[in-house]
A and B are shown apart, each in its own frame.
Chain A
C-alpha cells in the first residue's frame, strides 16, 4: 500500500512536469468506431443478434459500408481461456485486448448492405449449449481448461460472453479494428440498449427519438442550435431520462449472486473545441464544451452507454457563429 501510494505521489508530482500534449479522444480527427449497437446486448442461446456500427471518418462524416471504397468485415469469436473472460470480467490488465485476434474459435459473419451483421441463432445455440445439454460440445469449445459445470452455472446466472469484431478497410487497406461483447444468458429478462439520447445543447433540446435516420439527433423545435465561438456551453442529457436503467446479475468476489443496476455514461465528441471531461460518471451527466473558435457547422456526437454492453448514439449539427 505504501509503495503504491508513493508511486502515486511521484506520478502526481511529476505529472505536472510532462512536456507536450497528447490528442484527446473526444476530438474526431481520424477514423473512429463510435458505437456498435447490438440488438440485443443480452440474448438467449438460439436468438439472432444484429450489430449496427457508427463509424466516422477523419472529417467527421459517417462512413458507410460499400461507399468510397469502405468495407466492414465482421468476425464473431469466443475466448474460452479463463472463466473471468467468459463472464466479461477483465482479468489481465497486462494484456487487455479482448478482440478476436487470438481467439481459438472464430466465425466470419456476412456484412449486410447497411454495414450491419447478424449472428444467427443457430450459431449462438451451437456455441452455447443449454445447461445439462451437450457437454461434449461445451468441451469442444472450452477445451479442458474450463469445467463445463462452471460454464453451465455462468450461463444460467450472469451469462457468457461472445465477442464481435469489426474491421474497417478503405480501398483494401486496414484502417482500424473495434470490438464489443454480447452476453448470452438463459434468462427471460434480457437487457436492452438505452433509448436514443435526448440532450440540451445550450438552450436547444435535440433528440434521437422518433427520428427516421439512424444515428441522428434533431432539434425538437426544428431549429438547429447555434452557439457563439470559443464559448463554454453546457451539454446536458435529460435529467429525467433515467427509467431505461436495467438490472443485471453479478457473481461477486465472495461468490454471492447480486443484482446490479446499470449506470449511465455519456461521452460527447466533435471535430473541434474542447470538452471538459472525456466521459461523464454518474450521477454527473453534464459536460462543458468550449466551442470552436472558427465559425461554421460542426458535428456533435453523443454516445450513451449503460456499462453492461448497451449503448445508443446520435449526431447533431451545431452552428457556431
Chain B
C-alpha cells in the first residue's frame, strides 16, 4: 500500500561521535584550534540520496535517529554500514540502504585521502505542515494524514539538502507516498525488483505479479491490464515512451536492473502528466546505481552475460555509468529447435552531473537490438527448408534532463529525447513469396514541467508534453483479398511493395491541482491532448480526479475517475490500406477503494474498478461510397470491471512479499448487440511472492494461479471444398482453457572476497514442478481431435554476479 499524501521533509543526520581510527592508521583528534590544516581531517558528507519512507510509516518519536558505524574508503564511498543503535526495524533498513549511497569527502592525513571509520547519527524527521496552512491547533494529531507527524514548525527545507552543521554531516530524508493525481500507483524498488522468483532478477517482470494484471501467455513482455489489450498499456522510461521493455523470447528487460531506480505501475487512473495510452502505465525512473567510488559489476548465467561500470568524476559530483548485456541463446537454441537463431543485446551509457547544489543535468543513452532468424518452420505439420522467418527489432533513445530546484520547494524540469526505432520483419514461403516490412521511426519528444507547492495544502503541477513520431515503412506485404476472391486452399498471399510515411504529432498541456482540506486530499487535473495524424486532427479533453479521505491514521478511502485517449497504431491510418480518419481510442476509468495499514508492516489495498472503452479500432470490410474498403473502423466498444486486492509486506528483517488477487471481467460488444468475453479475459488471477533473507542466504518463492482464457467449444465442422479445409462450428457458450498454476523459486547466496569484491550466486527456477499449463490448442484438420499447446516448461538458470568496489 502507498500513502495518501506526497510530501517532502528533511531531517538532519548528525555526527555525534568523533572520527574513528582509519584502518592501518592511528586515529588522532583534530586540533580545532590549530591555524594550519590538521594532520588528520575527518570525512565530510557531500551527497546523500533521498531517504524514502513508505506510506503508512508509523509516527516517529521526537528526535528519531539511527546511530550507524560507517566505513568510508579513500574515495569517499561508504563501503560498510553497521547499526549501532537501532530506531525501529522498518526505518533502520531504509536508513542503512540510504547510508550506503552517501558520498563523503574522504578523510585525509596530511592532505592525502585515506580510508576511515566513523560513527554517524542519521536523524529522521517527518513532514511538518506550514503554520499558515494548517495551524497546529487546527490539526490535531488524530486528523493528520497517515504517515505524518504533526508539527508546528516551519516547512522543512528544500530537498535534497546537505546540512553542514557543527559536526560537519547531514543527510536528507523524503517520505514517498501515493502520487496525489494517481488513483493507484504501486512503486517497487530495491530487492522487491530484483529478487522475485521466476523473474530471473528482472525488475520489469515483477509487474506480472501485481493486481490488475492478467497472466500473459508464455510470459511475454506485454501486459493485459484491467482487461485492456496489450497496446493500451504504455512503457515509459524517464517520462518518455519506449516501444518495448523486454527482449524477445521471454528475455529480460532492455535496461539493466541496476539502472532502474524505481518502477511505478499504474493499473489505471494515472496522473495527467501521462497520456496517449488508454489503460495502464509502467514507468521507470532511472538513475546511476548506488556506488561508493569506482564500481565494476559482472553477471553471467545460462542465457546471458552482462557488465556494468560506474565511474565517479570530480569527487563524486558527477558519475558516468555504462552497461552492456548480450545473450547467447544463439548457442543454446539450436540444441532444442533446429534452425532457430535468437540473440539480443542492450546497452546503456549514462552521465549524471550536479552543476550546482540546485541544478542537475543528466544524459542517458540506451538501446537494444533483438534478432530472430528462423529457417525451419515448426509445428502444425509444416516443414520446409525454403521457409525463412526473420525479425529484427532495434531501438535507442537519448534522454537529456535538467532539474532546477528553486526556493520554496518549487521544482522546474525539462527533458528532451530523440529516439530511433527500427523493425525488419521478413518471411519467405516456398514458392518464392516474400513478405517483409522494414520500418523505422524517429521519435522526438519534450517535456517541461513545474511543480509549485504552497505549504502542505496546496500544490500545482503544470507542464506540456510534446512528441512527434515520423515513420518510414517500406513493406512487401500481402495484399488483403478483394471482393471476388475466394479463400485459397493454402496461404498464398500476393504481395505488393508499398512505402508509407505516416507522421503522428501530439502536444498535451496538462495541469493538476492538489488541495488538502482537513483529512481530504483532492487532486483534479486536465490534459488537453492535441493529436494530428493522417487525415485526423483534433483535441481530446481528458479530465481526471482523485479524492482521498483519511478515516484514521491507518485507513484511507479513495475514489477516482478520468478520461484517457490513445491514438491509433501507425499501420491503421495509412490512406491506402488503413483508415486515415480513424478516431483515437477513448476510455473512461473509475475506481474506488481503501488503503489500510496493518501491524507487522502489512499494507492492504483493495479497490473496485470499472473501465468503459470506445472508439476501439476493429477490422472491417465495409464498402465505402468511394468504392474502397474501410479496413479499420473506430467503433469497437467494451468494458472491464472487477476487484483488486494487494496485501504487501515491505522489506523488514529480510522478509518481504505480497499477495495480489484480481477478480475481473473484460467484455466486448459485437455489432449485433451481443456481449462477448475479451480474448484474454481471466476471471481470477492470484499471485503470491515472498522472499526471506538470513545469514547471507535469500530464499524466495512465487506462486501464480489464474483462470484460463476463453475458448469457444467446437460443435462440429463442415468441409469447405473450395478452400480444401474444414470450418469449425463453434458454440456461443464460452468454455475456458484449464486453470493455470505455476511455482517459481529462487535462492541467492551472497559472498565477499577480500575488501573489494562481493557478489552472489543464484539459482532461479521457473515452473518448478513443470506444470503442463495449456496456452492454447492445435486442432486437427477436421476438428475431430486436438493437441494442447503447452506453456513454458521448467526453466532453471544458475547465475553469478560479481561486484568490485
Chains A and B are bound partners: yes
For the complex, is A221 an interface residue (Cβ under 8 Å from B)? Answer: no
CB-based contact B787/A18 at 8 Å: yes
Q: What per-residue 1/0 map shows which CB atoms of B485-514 lie under 8 Å from chain A?
A: 111111110100000000000000000000
In angstroms, Cα B85 to Cα A60, docked, is 89
CB-based contact A250/B488 at 8 Å: no
Q: What per-residue 1/0 map shows which CB atoms of A72-105 lie under 8 Å from chain B?
A: 0000000000111001111100011111010000
For the complex, is A305 an interface residue (Cβ under 8 Å from B)? Answer: yes
Q: What per-residue 1/0 map shows which CB atoms of A5-22 lie under 8 Å from chain B?
A: 111111111111111111
For the complex, is A135 an interface residue (Cβ under 8 Å from B)? Answer: no
In angstroms, Cα B623 to Cα A101, docked, is 26
Within 8 A of A (CB), among B437-477: 437, 439
Q: A97-B729, A267-B489 are in contact. Are A284 and B623 (CB under 8 A)?
A: no
In angstroms, Cα B781 to Cα A256, docked, is 35
CB-based contact A283/B432 at 8 Å: yes
- Hey, which chain A residues are within 8 Å of B787, CB to CB? 18-22
CB-based contact B484/A248 at 8 Å: yes
Within 8 A of B (CB), among A239-254: 248-254
- Hey, which chain A residues are within 8 Å of B626, CB to CB? 255
A268 CB, nearest partner CB in chain B, Å: 12
CB-based contact A18/B721 at 8 Å: no
CB-based contact B571/A91 at 8 Å: no
Q: A22-B780, A279-B724 are in contact. Are A253 and B484 (CB under 8 A)?
A: no
For the complex, is A118 an interface residue (Cβ under 8 Å from B)? Answer: no
In angstroms, Cα B430 to Cα A277, docked, is 11
Cross-interface CB contact of A83 among B230, B489, B621, cutoff 8 Å: B621
In angstroms, Cα B479 to Cα A234, docked, is 33
CB-based contact B488/A265 at 8 Å: yes
CB-based contact B490/A281 at 8 Å: yes
What total of A-B pairs shows CB separation below 8 Å?
244
For the complex, is A180 an interface residue (Cβ under 8 Å from B)? Answer: yes
For the complex, is B39 an interface residue (Cβ under 8 Å from A)? Answer: no
**Closest partner residue, chain B, to A266 (CB atom):** B489
For the complex, is A308 an interface residue (Cβ under 8 Å from B)? Answer: yes
Within 8 A of A (CB), among B214-272: 217-218, 220-222, 230-231, 243-244, 248-250
In angstroms, Cα B490 to Cα A98, docked, is 17
- Hey, which chain B residues are within 8 Å of A91, CB to CB? 621
CB-based contact A12/B337 at 8 Å: yes
CB-based contact A252/B482 at 8 Å: yes
CB-based contact A281/B431 at 8 Å: yes
Within 8 A of B (CB), among A1-55: 1-3, 5-25, 30, 32-33, 35-36
Cross-interface CB contact of B576 among A20, A25, A254, A279, cutoff 8 Å: A254
- Hey, which chain B residues are within 8 Å of A138, CB to CB? none
For the complex, is B165 an interface residue (Cβ under 8 Å from A)? Answer: no
- Hey, which chain A residues are within 8 Å of B788, CB to CB? 18
CB-based contact A84/B719 at 8 Å: no
CB-based contact B627/A251 at 8 Å: yes
Interface residues on B, range: 35 or more
In angstroms, Cα B433 to Cα A198, docked, is 26
Q: A16-B379, A32-B719 are in contact. Are A23 and B781 (CB under 8 A)?
A: yes
- Hey, which chain B residues are within 8 Å of A97, CB to CB? 717-718, 720, 727-729
Q: How many residues on the A side are at the interface (Cβ–Cβ under 8 A)?
A: 84
In angstroms, Cα B722 to Cα A99, docked, is 12
For the complex, is A311 an interface residue (Cβ under 8 Å from B)? Answer: yes
For the complex, is A117 an interface residue (Cβ under 8 Å from B)? Answer: no
For the complex, is B782 an interface residue (Cβ under 8 Å from A)? Answer: yes
CB-based contact B222/A13 at 8 Å: no
CB-based contact B790/A18 at 8 Å: yes
CB-based contact B719/A96 at 8 Å: no
In angstroms, Cα B722 to Cα A36, docked, is 8
- Hey, which chain B residues are within 8 Å of A249, CB to CB? 484
**A88, A256, A280: residue with the most chain B Cβ atoms closer than 10 Å:** A88
For the complex, is A212 an interface residue (Cβ under 8 Å from B)? Answer: no
Cross-interface CB contact of A253 among B381, B492, B628, B730, cutoff 8 Å: B628
In angstroms, Cα B791 to Cα A3, docked, is 17
B595 CB, nearest partner CB in chain A, Å: 33
- Hey, which chain A residues are within 8 Å of B62, CB to CB? none
Q: What per-residue 1/0 map shows which CB atoms of A158-179 lie under 8 Å from chain B?
A: 1100000100000000001111
CB-based contact A9/B248 at 8 Å: yes
Q: A6-B221, A87-B484 are in contact. Are A253 and B728 (CB under 8 A)?
A: no
Cross-interface CB contact of B721 among A25, A30, A179, cutoff 8 Å: A179
Within 8 A of A (CB), among B190-223: 217-218, 220-222
Q: What per-residue 1/0 map shows which CB atoms of A201-222 lie under 8 Å from chain B?
A: 0000000000000000000000
- Hey, which chain A residues are within 8 Å of B782, CB to CB? 23, 25, 30
CB-based contact B492/A305 at 8 Å: no
In angstroms, Cα B291 to Cα A186, docked, is 80
Within 8 A of B (CB), among A281-312: 281-284, 303, 305, 307-309, 311
CB-based contact B722/A1 at 8 Å: no
A32 CB, nearest partner CB in chain B, Å: 7
- Hey, which chain B residues are within 8 Å of A279, CB to CB? 489-490, 724
- Hey, which chain B residues are within 8 Å of A106, CB to CB? none
**Closest partner residue, chain A, to B487 (CB atom):** A90
- Hey, which chain A residues are within 8 Å of B627, CB to CB? 251, 255-256
CB-based contact B482/A250 at 8 Å: yes
In angstroms, Cα B773 to Cα A17, docked, is 13
CB-based contact B483/A87 at 8 Å: yes
- Hey, which chain B residues are within 8 Å of A150, CB to CB? 623
B371 CB, nearest partner CB in chain A, Å: 11
CB-based contact B722/A180 at 8 Å: yes
Cross-interface CB contact of A18 among B393, B488, B729, B778, cutoff 8 Å: B778
Cross-interface CB contact of B220 among A6, A15, A33, A263, cutoff 8 Å: A6
For the complex, is B391 an interface residue (Cβ under 8 Å from A)? Answer: yes
In angstroms, Cα B425 to Cα A6, docked, is 12
Q: Which residues of A contact B (CB under 8 A)?
A: 1-3, 5-25, 30, 32-33, 35-36, 82-84, 87-91, 95-99, 101, 150, 154, 157-159, 165, 176-181, 183, 248-256, 258, 260, 263, 265, 267, 277-284, 303, 305, 307-309, 311
Which 3 A-B pairs rank lowest in CB-CB distance, beginning with the nearest? A15-B379, A158-B484, A255-B627
Q: Which residues of B contact A (CB under 8 A)?
A: 217-218, 220-222, 230-231, 243-244, 248-250, 333, 336-337, 340, 342, 372, 374, 377-381, 384, 389, 391, 393, 423, 425, 429-433, 437, 439, 479-492, 494, 571, 576-577, 621-624, 626-629, 631, 717-722, 724, 727-730, 775, 778-782, 784-793
Provide 26 A-B residue pairs closer than 8 Å at the C-beta atoms, listed in order of the A residue.
Answer: A1-B425, A2-B393, A2-B423, A6-B248, A7-B220, A8-B389, A9-B372, A11-B379, A18-B379, A18-B778, A19-B790, A24-B781, A33-B719, A95-B730, A99-B720, A101-B718, A176-B719, A179-B719, A179-B721, A250-B481, A251-B484, A253-B576, A253-B631, A263-B492, A281-B431, A308-B486
